[in-house]
Structure 1
Amino acid sequence: RPSLTILSPLALHPALSGGAAHIQRTALQLARYYEVSIYTITPEPAGAAWGPLSERCRELRAFRRGPVAGSWLDPPAARMERSAELERHLRSAWRRDPPDIVQIEFTTLAHYAPLARAAGALAVCTAHNLAFLAQLRRARRERSPLLRARRMLGALSMWRYELRTLRACDLVITLSEGDASALRRWAPGLPVACVPPGIELDPVARNPVDGLVLFVGGYLHPPNVEGAIWLAREVWPLVRAARPGALLVLAGRDPPPQVRALAGHDIEVPGTLPDLAPLYERASVAAAAVFWGGGVRIKILDALAAGIPVVSTAAAADGLPLVHGESALLAETPEEFARALVLLLNDGRLRARIGAAGRAIVARSHAAERSGRLLAGLYEGARAGLTRR
């Protein structure tokens, strides 16, 4: 079978973020078509764990991050996603046995595309989101002119980096059609395809706790920190007044001090958990309170797949075919969001109906096997194009 190497800036097991979960699921699906190797960049390579990937992949290796490298004009996120150990290994290994396909996860690793192409591989970048668009959205929300200017400069730096490095790829995969359209507009001629993220539709194990509202987000991602704080400070007092006894759980990896400080008698901050399945089993409602960013929120898909009714902002639902009142409740202000949460908490039939409609969306558009099949088809078509060059 053809060989495929995945380069990831994230540890993949346990999958503590939506990005890691997506990479792991994608790798397991692609292992049906390819001999898959995965190389990750991590602060502690010796502690790397691989879980189910160990049984399905040919090679799994972790490399130490650093030192920081690249042009000073590049954004810090890209300069930090470097590994001298990894680069030495790739140059040596690919000289002896080059892969057929290199799948680069996140645009911040796209600077590895020339190395992949030099080895004769098809260079693919999975753009989980376009960071320059996310930074633009963040800048527009800033009230301080100084902070707004700083964010705009960051967006400009990321725009320059992403367009330059992505043009070195043979194919760019986006998770949302909005990001694909933006790339086609900003980089005409660049081969771009949208493949929605795939989710396993396991049998639903639901034992919801009355009044439990679940928010999940990796707190290394600033929009999740802002969303958790907004939910606890602006929305939850309104829910508390209308629905005494309700419980808000702010779950996710590495909560910073300002999120941990939100914990109280009816707000829990459990910290990093190796498995979120017990929380999804117990949640009555999922809250997706995010106001900027990009791509597709994998954690919303996880909630939908579990049959949990979701209350979401428009930004959090971007890229998903959610319809207000049918497959989710959409809200923007604290008052709207609180009303939606209370409505679902008080109406079991509505929870069941909206939860079932959300799960049906995952079955229709985000089944893991479908996503894997789409990717394999795109890769083989692109490889055929390479042989004709």
Structure 2
Amino acid sequence: MNIQTKPNVAVITFLCPFPVSDGGRFGVFGQINDLRKFYNVTLVFKVAITEKPHVEALQAMWPEVEILPVYSNDVMANHASKKQISFLKKISRLVKKVKKRKKARRSHHQGISNPHRHYPFLPVDRQMIDFLEALFQKQTFDIVQVEYSDLLPLIHSLPHGAKTVFFQHENRYLILQDYFKLYNDKSLYASHVIDTVKFTELNLMNLYDRVLVLNQNDFAQLQEGVHEAKLRVWPTAVPDMFYAASVNRQPPEKAEKIVFLGSQGHPPNEDALKWFIEGMYPAVLKQTGMLLYVTGVWEESFKNNYPEVIFTGFLQDLTDLLHGAVLISPIRLGGGGIRIKILQSMAVGVPVITTLLACDGMEGIKHGENIFVAEQEAGFIEILQDLAAKEGLYASVSEHAKKFIQDHYSEGVTSLIRQKVYNELLAETPGHRSDQGK
């Protein structure tokens, strides 16, 4: 009698997925929660020693997953995140500078200065590479999956006997493209920065056996540079545990407050929140009386500019905050992927108002039924007024939002997709690494 063994899968990322405090952690948590049911999963990530309690809590939650943290004494978790945070802070500062220049009617064709200093595809630090070398000498894996742009260069250090997978949460070159477009920078320098990052990003992806994307729009976007045969849609999973508690909790008839989820370190968040507070919130507050609550980490200097806004800081449990709330996601800077904050909120029946950019690629959404889409300030204001005034509208959208998540992003749906993608890859005849990019 043959005993079927589960394939061995290694997932390499640069963050500990617990606590589930932001979109990145949520995305990693959801997929590992799926994969652990069908495969022997080894999860590798570099993390600050201060997060050891979180790692231990995760191990207790997933006893069947081999969790291998690469501990660092640095405050930052790893080399990749250092580069990313530095890169994002650079953009954030420049967003402020561009706005000041526009107000002063000075030239705004400055772009991002010295991007080579924060180039996202530099070699991964030695501590992580040495750790992986020892791991691959000791254990054999059927599939090795790498996550996020900063770790793309790991393809050169993966074992040749394994199938290789890259999961692209968000395209770096698209973020830059949206940034320059938003500030109307059509200079040669802007195209130089975008094209250089795009060339590197797409060519590194082509070295993997599979490239996973979050939705059909990302699939279509990457077709111009990544072989279509490598591309697969790999949707975000919203684990049952994140909305089970809200199943029997009745939504209010009218909206009671406004919530923005996200931290300042991600430039799209800062741009979105400033746009809403300065262009929309005064009118909404005056007409509805609804207060705005903002989660995550924000600089004191930023918070002091908006005394009328309630900054909650990091909240491990969002249940009470989201009850009776409307989530706003006025995102204007993209990069592909999907906004986890939107899925989280819809899962617990919170109506969402967002831009087309932020929800683009989400199949099954219907404006006015399970979500609201607005592109201009007036649209956000009108929808918030309706949710605060029209009885039954909040409850109706709440129920349709929960059903949307169950139909498209629940564990049962995403687990089947992941099994199909992995099993198809495992069934393929082994090829040569040198042929992958051709």
Fold shared, TM-score > 0.5 on shorter chain: yes
**How far did 1:46 drift?**
4.7
Q: Residue 6 in 1 paired to residue 11 in 2?
A: yes
CA contact (8 A) 2:328 2:353 kept: yes
Q: Residue 379 in 1 paired to residue 383 in 2?
A: no
Distance 2:415 2:369 in 1: 28
Q: Aligned to 2:51, which of 30, 47, 50? A: 47
**Which amino acid in structure 1 is aligned with residue 179 of structure 2?**
R
CA contact (8 A) 2:260 2:329 kept: yes
Partner of 1:34: 39
Q: Residue 227 in 1 paired to residue 272 in 2?
A: yes
Q: Aligned to 1:250, which of 288, 294, 300? A: 294
CA displacement, residues 109-162 of structure 1 (integer Å, 9 cap, x when unaligned): 1111232243x21111111122212221221101456xx665544322321221
Distance 2:115 2:163 in 1: 27
Q: Residue 109 in 1 paired to residue 151 in 2?
A: yes
Q: Aligned to 2:67, which of 34, 59, 66? A: 59
Pairs within 5 Å for 1:225-374: 225-243=270-288, 245-252=289-296, 254-257=297-300, 259-265=302-308, 267-280=309-322, 282-293=323-334, 294-321=336-363, 322-374=365-417
Task: Report the secondary structure of 2:207's partner residue.
Answer: coil
Give the RMSD, CA atoms, in angstroms.
2.5
Scaled by the length of structure 2, the TM-score of the pair is: 0.80
CA displacement, residues 285-311 of structure 1 (integer Å, 9 cap, x when unaligned): 111110121211111011110101111
Partner of 2:209: 170
Give the direction of change, closer, same or farther, for the CA distance of 1:200–1:347 in structure 2 (3 Å limit). Answer: farther
Give the direction of change, closer, same or farther, for the CA distance of 1:79–1:291 in structure 2 (3 Å limit). Answer: same
Pairs within 5 Å for 1:51-130: 51-56=57-62, 57-64=65-72, 65-66=78-79, 76=118, 78-79=120-121, 82-118=124-160, 120-130=161-171
CA displacement, residues 55-88 of structure 1 (integer Å, 9 cap, x when unaligned): 421233134423989xx99782525783321110
Distance 1:378 1:210 in 2: 41
Q: After superposing the two structures, state which structure 1 stretch, 324-333 or 254-263, moved more.
A: 254-263
Give the direction of change, closer, same or farther, for the CA distance of 1:279–1:60 in structure 2 (3 Å limit). Answer: farther
Partner of 2:104: none
CA contact (8 A) 2:251 2:349 kept: no
CA contact (8 A) 2:16 2:25 kept: yes
Q: Residue 15 in 1 paired to residue 59 in 2?
A: no
**How far did 1:16 drift?**
2.1
CA displacement, residues 304-329 of structure 1 (integer Å, 9 cap, x when unaligned): 10101111111111121322122222
**How far did 1:181 drift?**
1.0
Distance 1:24 1:283 in 2: 26
Unaligned runs of at least 5 residues, structure 1: none
Task: Report the secondary structure of 1:185's partner residue.
Answer: coil
Distance 1:175 1:53 in 2: 26
Distance 2:403 2:145 in 1: 30
Task: Report the secondary structure of 2:46's partner residue.
Answer: strand
Task: Report the secondary structure of 1:327's partner residue.
Answer: coil
Give the direction of change, closer, same or farther, for the CA distance of 1:388–1:313 in structure 2 (3 Å limit). Answer: closer
Task: Report the secondary structure of 1:362's partner residue.
Answer: helix
Distance 1:357 1:207 in 2: 12
CA displacement, residues 325-364 of structure 1 (integer Å, 9 cap, x when unaligned): 2222211111211111111111230111111111111111
Scaled by the length of structure 1, the TM-score of the pair is: 0.89
Distance 1:80 1:247 in 2: 44
**Which amino acid in structure 1 is aligned with residue 337 of structure 2?**
G
**How far did 1:183 drift?**
1.4
Distance 2:50 2:366 in 1: 45
Give the direction of change, closer, same or farther, for the CA distance of 1:368–1:154 in structure 2 (3 Å limit). Answer: farther
Task: Report the secondary structure of 2:392's partner residue.
Answer: helix
Give the direction of change, closer, same or farther, for the CA distance of 1:333–1:257 in structure 2 (3 Å limit). Answer: farther
**Which amino acid in structure 2 is aligned with residue 66 of structure 1?**
H
CA contact (8 A) 1:306 1:359 kept: yes
Distance 2:321 2:36 in 1: 29
**Which amino acid in structure 2 is aligned with residue 303 of structure 1?**
S
Q: Residue 139 in 1 paired to residue 180 in 2?
A: yes
Q: After superposing the two structures, state which structure 1 stretch, 99-108 or 208-217, moved more.
A: 208-217
**How far did 1:52 drift?**
3.9
Q: Aligned to 2:226, which of 176, 184, 187? A: 187
**How far did 1:261 drift?**
2.8
- Give the share of equivalent positions with the same residue, in percent: 20
Distance 1:213 1:73 in 2: 36
Task: Report the secondary structure of 1:197's partner residue.
Answer: coil
Give the direction of change, closer, same or farther, for the CA distance of 1:270–1:263 in structure 2 (3 Å limit). Answer: farther
Distance 1:80 1:277 in 2: 40
Q: Residue 160 in 1 paired to residue 199 in 2?
A: yes
CA contact (8 A) 1:75 1:157 kept: no
Distance 1:151 1:23 in 2: 32
**Which amino acid in structure 1 is aligned with residue 293 of structure 2?**
V
CA contact (8 A) 1:225 1:259 kept: no
Q: Residue 218 in 1 paired to residue 263 in 2?
A: yes
Task: Report the secondary structure of 1:218's partner residue.
Answer: coil
Q: Which is greater in Rg?
A: 2
Distance 1:341 1:107 in 2: 36
CA contact (8 A) 2:215 2:235 kept: yes
